[in-house]
Amino acid sequence: MNRESLEFDVVIVGAGPAGLSAACRLMQLANEAGKSLRVCVVEKGAEIGAHIISGAVFEPTALNELFPNWKEQGAPVTVPVENDELHYLLSERRSIKAPGFLIPKPMRNEGNYVISLGRLCRWLAERAEALGAEIFTGFAAADVLYDDAGAVAGVVTGDMGVARDGSKKPNYQPGVELLAPYTIFAEGCRGHLGKRLMERFKLRQEADPQHYGIGIKEIWRIDPSHHRLGHVIHTLGWPLDNETEGGGFVYHDEGGLVSLGLIVALNYRNPYLNPFNEMQRWKHHPVVRRFLEGGTRIGYGARAVNKGGWQSVPRLSFPGGVMAGCEAGFLNPVKIKGNHTAMKTGMLAAEAVFEALQKGGVPDLDGRYRQSWVDKELFRGRNFGPALAKFGTLIGSTFIWIDQNIFRGKLPFTLHNRVPDHATLDRAANSREIDYSKPDGVLSFDRLSSVYLSNTNHEEDQPCHLVLTDPSIPIAQNLPLYDEPAQRYCPAAVYEIVEAPGQGARFQINAQNCVHCKVCDIKDPAQNITWVPPEGGGGPNYVNM
Amino acid sequence: MKVLVTVKRVVDYNVRIQVKPDGSGVMLDGVKMSMNPFDEIALEEAIRLKEAGKATQIVAVSIGPQAVQEQLRSALALGADRAIHIPLDAAPQPVNAARALAGLAGRENPDLILMGKQAIDDDCNQTPQMLAALLGWPQATFASKIELNDKAATVAREVDAGLEFLSVDLPAVISADLRLNVPRYPKLPDIMKARRLPIETVTPEDLGVEFVPEAKLLKVAPPPKRQAGRKVASVDELVAALRERGLLS
Ligand SMILES: Cc1cc2nc3c(=O)[nH]c(=O)nc-3n(C[C@H](O)[C@H](O)[C@H](O)COP(=O)(O)OP(=O)(O)OC[C@H]3O[C@@H](n4cnc5c(N)ncnc54)[C@H](O)[C@@H]3O)c2cc1C
Ligand SMILES: Cc1cc2nc3c(=O)[nH]c(=O)nc-3n(C[C@H](O)[C@H](O)[C@H](O)COP(=O)(O)OP(=O)(O)OC[C@H]3O[C@@H](n4cnc5c(N)ncnc54)[C@H](O)[C@@H]3O)c2cc1C
Ligand code: SF4
């Protein structure tokens, strides 16, 4: 095929905190050295922030390094955390508030800020453009390009105007090759190109499998009398049982808004578990609902987070490129914070690539990471995830408290969790069905009315972007064994088992609802679903998520 | 032949509009903004006219704050030859938009002005008609097909009863309906090139535009919440339910 191609010095895939920090840092280095540098960032969302979703309580460490004068430059980081609470939810109604000293140290939030990551990304994008980077939104990097020696040579953007059956529509437009000596992959958690790179360059050989959670978030405009700017609450326990790991958050942001959500670890065992419904019922707990009564829900979104931590970090560098941010899995699972580590590893990636542009060869990001505070921070919290997976939430949290507050993460052993999340489901026959009560339409809602608030849209006439390796597996295998869990783990109700009288069950994929969370790609027990990017610009249009 | 295309910056059609709690307008903070879809269609038509050798120059114009330059850049990326920004603190209402555009038409002397039939934010469907009146030019609105020769255009208009065919002498104002064409996607290399192209700024004073007072916005309110529906098991039940409500006799 005859494609147009454009040449740059560096191509960056993904305009999240990692990709944008990499772009800013590269241009800073070039400007300091008096060199001209052509840096291109591609982002599949229709605009910066459209696909960005985070809590977020933000640790400004990396921002301090990237733009020491960010306050004067007007970064949208303005709401200091004022009040930081951790509640153990014991049941539907009961809870205890953990006294300050019982909160594991890394989970405390002095010096942090409540932010909208979408807003921060828009600001970072403005900075990157002002420094000279080129950002293109509405273009997904669809595949990796390799040179004759097998090194990464860039990416190709997705074709536009392809019909469902694969034929070209009148407005068909082939993707463009973006070529560069070095490419920085920053697609966030479970990037689809990152997945291919890890396989091709065997980057995971010495790492534990990556572990994941699904984060489901809503934004509410609440009754002003309930709003306390900068107030931050985390919850553990109910509605999740002791063997299902996860927790909730409630962050009071500016503008009378509250960001709240539930993160559920994807190594859950019960195939009947429905993370969306858990989140809906969690809002009914008095600790949460007291803020929401009289309020209006204005935003909804979901995204996978990685939580394997230190043991799961893969090799980061390979010929022609590096991986940064959640693409590589730098979220700190103790804090459930990945923005500062995404930014920092983006900056380190920029430094490694900038050096390689002068010297040639494979950029040294692994060495830079091992020398950085990101490695130290993740190392300290390394036993968190495996402890919860091994001991359950109650004993696990006790272990973590001792590990973090007494030994400061220096216990002389490292726990491992080597079972990938797609392999943890029990058979449906051995599992308890969970009775989720109907949403009340006031505090709790169904999935479709939720997806509506994510402003999600995809061109309807295009190939399905959720690809089944073997189309028979959902009905022939997943349904009898696990009651096809995709019906429940997808936060956008994309997957349905439809039974037409006399025709038996059929697996239906409502791809246009997809919010690009990547959970199906992770949790399908047969690893039969592959998420590939739909036509550029499709997906959610999150507003300040 | 020179074609002037109007481009309005509006809230993207995918965004679920939310009304500000104080009723003073709709939420715009962090909301995706785009070129009015009908303007995209108008621009696409101009590009096709140029590709067919009928138009020689396409000039895109937008009225409003600095941010509208984003949509003008999109127009340049798609194929406009020039872009003109008429700066104003906020997008004007149709009557004043038409006045500013009439001023610009006096200066640019286009042979054809292509516009969207309406902007999807205010849904006024007035600017093209007012502009034609101010200029004293013929107008053809809701165009779903345009055929052009040197002196006139034949336009198929979408009307309630079907299609109406008009022939209008040039210069004329034509407004685009949904089915006129399917716009192309911008190409990445063209977006990059468009970033380096100049955008001309022409102020209302330059054009000697006299604005008139605009309608005062009193309040914006969301539509009343829809009552929950009810599922019926059969056609009979549906008919009975409709009868019950007097919707079927
Ligand atoms: C509900 C929730 C709450 C969270 N709370 C917090 C918190 O309070 N504090 C905190 O620090 N962290 C929090 N996190 C984690 C944090 O959001 C992530 O660690 C962070 O967003 C990772 O940044 P990133 O740049 O690596 O990836 P992302 O933010 O995921 O950005 C990746 C970008 O790349 C784009 N992209 C992906 N693939 C392609 C492609 N092929 N082509 C083009 N573009 C592509 C995506 O659209 C996206 O815009 C939370 C996460 C979630 C889901
Ligand atoms: C920018 C823009 C501007 C537009 N402006 C106008 C305009 O000014 N005037 C105009 O007439 N049109 C306009 N349209 C077109 C219009 O919005 C839609 O194209 C049209 O409503 C599509 O209707 P539909 O019934 O084909 O499909 P849908 O939109 O899919 O369906 C419409 C209704 O049918 C229901 N429905 C869908 N599927 C089912 C099902 N399986 N079972 C039961 N109910 C179902 C939906 O819930 C909905 O209530 C515009 C479109 C765009 C993009
Ligand atoms: S289809 Fe997959 S990626 Fe899309 S929303 Fe559902 S689980 Fe997430």
Which residue reads 């402003």 in tokens?
Answer: A455
**Residue B74 falls in which region: left (phi positive, over 0), alpha (psi -120 to 50) or beta:** alpha
pLDDT at A397 > cutoff 80: no
β-partners of residue A179 are A7, A154
CB A222 within 8 A of CB A294: yes
Could you tell me the pLDDT band of residue A407, with boundaries at 50, 70 and 90? confident
Evaluate: CB of A53 within 6 angstroms of ligand 3.
no
Please report the pLDDT score of residue A226 as a whole number.
96
Residues B9-40: tens digit of each pLDDT:
999 999 999 999 899 999 999 999 999 999 99
Substitution target from B29, B74, B185, B191 for chain A, most A beta carbons within 10 A: B185
Q: What is the spatial distance between Cα B135 and Cα B128, in angstroms, rounded to a whole number?
A: 11
Q: CA geometry: angle at A224 spanning A223 and A226, to 5°?
A: 75
d(CA A421, CA A353): 33
Is the pLDDT at A409 greater than 90? The verdict is no
Q: What is the mean pLDDT of residues A145-149?
A: 97
- pLDDT of B226: 82
Name the residue among A4, A47, A171 with its Cβ closest to that of B182.
A171
- What confidence tens digit (pLDDT) does each residue in B207-220 have? 999 999 999 999 99
Least confident of A147-156, A284-293, A497-506, B97-106: A497-506
Answer whether A541 sits within 8 Å of B14, measured CB to CB: yes
Predicted local confidence at residue A402, as pLDDT: 79
Q: What is the mean pLDDT of residues A23-52?
A: 97
pLDDT band at residue A99 using 50, 70 and 90 as cut-offs: confident
Q: Which residues pair with B35 in a beta bridge?
A: B9
Ligand closest in space to the Cα of A529:
3
A543-B6-B57 Cα angle (round to 5): 125
Which ligand sits nearest to residue A454's alpha carbon? 3
Average pLDDT, chain B: 96
Q: Answer yes or no: do A6 and B183 touch at CB < 8 A.
A: no
For residue A17, give the nearest of A342, A326, A332 by alpha carbon.
A342
- Residue closest via CA to ligand 3's atom 2 equals A520
Supply the residue whose CA is at minimum distance from atom 4 of ligand 3: A514
* A317 Cβ under 8 Å from any chain B Cβ: no
CA-proximal residue: ligand 1, atom 29 (nearest): A16
Distance A213 CA to ligand 3 centre (A): 13
**Region A233-249: what's the mean pLDDT?**
93
pLDDT digits (tens, 9 = 90+) for B190-207: 999 999 999 999 999 999
List ligand 1's pocket residues with C-beta within 6 A: A 13-19, 42-45, 51-58, 117, 140-141, 186-189, 191, 193, 215, 217, 261, 303, 305, 325-327, 331, 336-340, 342, 533
Question: A134, B192: Cβ pair inside 8 Å?
Answer: yes
DSSP B19: B
What mean pLDDT is predicted for residues A46-63? Answer: 97
Tell me whether strands B152-159 and A257-265 are parallel, antiparallel or unpaired: unpaired
Q: What pLDDT, on a 0 to 100 scale, did the predictor assign at position A1?
A: 66
pLDDT at position A484, please? Answer: 97
* Average pLDDT estimate for A134-163: 97
